[in-house]
Chain A
Amino acid sequence: MIYTILYGFTIGAILYFISIGLSLTFGTMRVINFAHSLTYTLGVYMLLTFLSLFGGRFIMAGIFAVIMVILVSYLIERFIIRKLYGESVDYTFIATFAVTLIGIDSIKWIWGVQPHPLSDPLGIYMNLGGFTFPFYRVLIVLIAILLFFALEFFFKKTIVGKIVVAALEDEEGVRCLGVKVHEYFSLVFVLGSALAALGGVFYAPIGAIDPYMGLSILLLAFAVVIVGGMGNLRGTFVSSFSLGMVMSVTARYWSQGAETMVFIVMAIVLIFKPIDI
């Protein structure tokens, strides 16, 4: 049972990394960014390349992977999403889906289709009360919690964060104050993508790596965002950990049904929760 709980927290942490970007981009720009799955996958593959380049130093490779993803996501924002501001949401969705298709095909082109295994970069096991668990998973959870507080600080105390929060509430109002809102939006977009890549980097040693890995995780993150509320930062935090727990508990009794259960929870929430999006 202890393992189940730890597993749930790990999945929750990864889901938090991914869904925070989705939630923020929706809350600010009213855009559901399908390319989020691409940035996630790209982060993992960049990590693979940099790992072989740096001779297996995980932290260095991870940092470089995230930097590369930041560049790519800036390009996506600059040339695709910025041109579709104020248009129908469907067009943005289709456009980001198209970007994902192109990106995934390039990944298949460059890195190949076959799955890559990756081992635990730390290899340290913690012993607590007779149970041994990999320290890496505990570390992921700790980083996620740290990130939560960092984001809270960022959005409460810094001026950039305050502008973004204000724009979440009322975009027109902020623009009337003479703030170039769209520059902050692109910052939010890049931040979200970078966090997705970070989630990918952390998840890579635990899960399997293949070009289509982003889709299922995007759908899960989307369920998290629906349950937690679009653009609601704390709600996203709570719902990602609770849905992670749902996944791990389901997986304990019915190993294949974990993801299905998340969507069932999402459907139930949608039935009872009024939603105007």
Chain B
Amino acid sequence: MKKHITTNPDRLTGILAGIKKSPLNWRECFDFLAVGGGFLLLVPILSAHRVTDFMIFCIFAMSFDLMYGYMGRLSFGHLLFLGTGAYTCGLFIKYINGNPFTAILVGIAAAGVLSIIIGPIIVRTTGACFSLINLAFNYVGFFLVLSPLKTITNGEDGFGVHATSVAFLNPGSKIIMYFFVLFCLLLAFYFLKRLTSSPFGILLRSIKENESRVNFLGYNTFVYKWITFILAGSIAGLAGTLTALNYNYINPNVMDVYSNVGVVFACLIGGAGSLYGVIVGGVVYMLISNFLPIYIQRWEMFLGIAMLLIIFRFRMGIWGYVVGYFEKKKITQRPIEEAVRR
């Protein structure tokens, strides 16, 4: 059978070019101030080291949300990319060169290449099948790191990552790492904000709503899903490299299969499909997971019950309710079309 849908290169480049258009406006500046200021405010309450941890998790959660919230594909193995980034970065520093900048780039590239390779297999599926195949690949990755590559990754014990300090970036200093991670978070946030509000982002949301209709419009959805998969994988890889640099230590737990539930939970509690929501959710999840186990021992059970509650009662997440509250106020003054467009 002849394949009817072909990729129109003009269309693809046109859509990708839409990301670059329009200069920085006041609204984006406000976004930056809100996110950056929010994390700065957290420092006096918690400690800088902990907030660095939170921010890395938020980068990871945003990359997850690109796939779940925007494209509608629930991945239960997203930690594979974080682990790939972390391990490549760590191994690069350990065996080749101690420069953290190159290590970060190599880590992101490795995660990107991995998603280029396994993307075409995974992206063809949807729904729970997608989640389980991701989970299977994550399991394979975890296992590879744990035993067949034991000679270089040191198996279960992990290894130390001691990067040399280059220019301003000194991985040993907590304050410098804090600001560097904050910079990376804002960068990722800016990139994702641009991506999701461009025609590409609208296309992704249309794929989430109804993929076959997007197909009928002449878009080769496979390519767009693949690109998204690669982007999400690379950003998760960035989070992984930052994890490795921040802790100065890696072990296979960074890509533990069961830990994937954390990011799903963060996305749900914050509100999927919105970058703000995911950041709120990431912070809330990290707060819960950092402080709750001190008070209650049955932490996984709590997580499960909370997830069931969210699924049955509070699907919109925290951010969804915040937006909904303001929307309800505004909707009386604004024309309906504008409300729908938001």
B124-168 vs A, Cβ < 8 Å mask (1 yes, 0 no): 111111011101110110011001100000000000000000000
Whole-angstrom CA separation of A223 from B120 in the bound complex: 17
A95: shortest Cβ distance to chain B, in Å?
Answer: 5
Also in contact, A101 and B300, with CB within 8 A (given A32-B128, A260-B143, A270-B124)? yes
Interface residues in chain A, defined as those with a beta carbon under 8 Å from any beta carbon in chain B: 31-32, 80, 83-84, 89-95, 97-102, 104-106, 109, 212, 215-216, 219, 222-223, 226, 256-257, 259-260, 263, 266-267, 270-271, 275, 277
Contact B307 A105 (CB under 8 A): no
Contact A105 B74 (CB under 8 A): no
9 new A-B contacts, CB < 8 A, other than A101-B303, A105-B304, are: A84-B311, A89-B128, A90-B131, A93-B76, A97-B76, A97-B307, A98-B303, A109-B301, A260-B143
Chain B residues with Cβ below 8 Å from A92 are 128
B79: shortest Cβ distance to chain A, in Å?
Answer: 14
Whole-angstrom CA separation of A92 from B129 in the bound complex: 12
Contact A80 B308 (CB under 8 A): yes
Chain A residues with Cβ below 8 Å from B131 are 32, 90, 93
B247 proximal to A (CB < 8 A): no
Whole-angstrom CA separation of A222 from B128 in the bound complex: 11
Q: Provide 15 A-B residue pairs closer than 8 Å at the C-beta atoms, listed in order of the A residue.
A: A83-B312, A90-B72, A95-B307, A101-B301, A102-B301, A105-B304, A216-B139, A222-B132, A257-B148, A260-B140, A263-B139, A270-B124, A270-B125, A277-B126, A277-B127
B121: shortest Cβ distance to chain A, in Å?
Answer: 5
Whole-angstrom CA separation of A271 from B312 in the bound complex: 36
Whole-angstrom CA separation of A52 from B18 in the bound complex: 68
B27 proximal to A (CB < 8 A): no
Selected from B126, B139, B301, B308, the residue in CB contact (under 8 A) with A106 is B301
Whole-angstrom CA separation of A256 from B124 in the bound complex: 29
Whole-angstrom CA separation of A104 from B76 in the bound complex: 18
Chain A residues with Cβ below 8 Å from B216 are none
Chain A residues with Cβ below 8 Å from B264 are 94, 97
Whole-angstrom CA separation of A93 from B132 in the bound complex: 10
Interface residues in chain B, defined as those with a beta carbon under 8 Å from any beta carbon in chain A: 68, 72, 74, 76, 118, 120-121, 124-129, 131-133, 135-137, 139-140, 143-144, 147-148, 257-258, 261, 264, 268, 298-301, 303-305, 307-308, 311-312, 315
Chain A residues with Cβ below 8 Å from B133 are 226, 266, 270
B interface SS class: helix
Selected from B121, B148, B303, B311, the residue in CB contact (under 8 A) with A267 is B121
Whole-angstrom CA separation of A235 from B137 in the bound complex: 23
Also in contact, A101 and B128, with CB within 8 A (given A95-B311, A219-B139, A256-B148)? no
Chain A residues with Cβ below 8 Å from B257 are 215
Contact A94 B307 (CB under 8 A): yes
Contact B304 A99 (CB under 8 A): yes
Contact B125 A98 (CB under 8 A): no
Nearest residue, chain A, Cβ from B300: A105
Selected from B136, B144, B298, B307, the residue in CB contact (under 8 A) with A266 is B136
Contact B132 A275 (CB under 8 A): no
Chain A residues with Cβ below 8 Å from B315 are 91
Nearest residue, chain B, Cβ from A222: B132
Identify which of A84, A90, A266 gathers the most chain B CB atoms within 10 Å of its CB.
Answer: A90
Selected from A101, A106, A260, A270, the residue in CB contact (under 8 A) with B307 is A101
Chain A residues with Cβ below 8 Å from B72 are 90
Also in contact, A277 and B132, with CB within 8 A (given A101-B303, A256-B148)? no
A254: shortest Cβ distance to chain B, in Å?
Answer: 8
Contact B127 A90 (CB under 8 A): yes
Contact B307 A90 (CB under 8 A): no
A232: shortest Cβ distance to chain B, in Å?
Answer: 15
Contact B137 A219 (CB under 8 A): no
Nearest residue, chain A, Cβ from B132: A222
Chain B residues with Cβ below 8 Å from A267 are 118, 121
Identify which of A80, A97, A266 gathers the most chain B CB atoms within 10 Å of its CB.
Answer: A97
Whole-angstrom CA separation of A212 from B298 in the bound complex: 16
B214: shortest Cβ distance to chain A, in Å?
Answer: 16
A211: shortest Cβ distance to chain B, in Å?
Answer: 10
Whole-angstrom CA separation of A94 from B268 in the bound complex: 10
Nearest residue, chain A, Cβ from B267: A94
Whole-angstrom CA separation of A266 from B128 in the bound complex: 16
Selected from B76, B126, B127, B136, the residue in CB contact (under 8 A) with A223 is B136
Contact B300 A89 (CB under 8 A): no
A107: shortest Cβ distance to chain B, in Å?
Answer: 11
Whole-angstrom CA separation of A106 from B299 in the bound complex: 11
Contact A32 B144 (CB under 8 A): no
Chain A residues with Cβ below 8 Å from B303 are 98, 101
Chain B residues with Cβ below 8 Å from A219 are 132, 135-136, 139
Nearest residue, chain B, Cβ from A93: B128
Whole-angstrom CA separation of A35 from B133 in the bound complex: 17
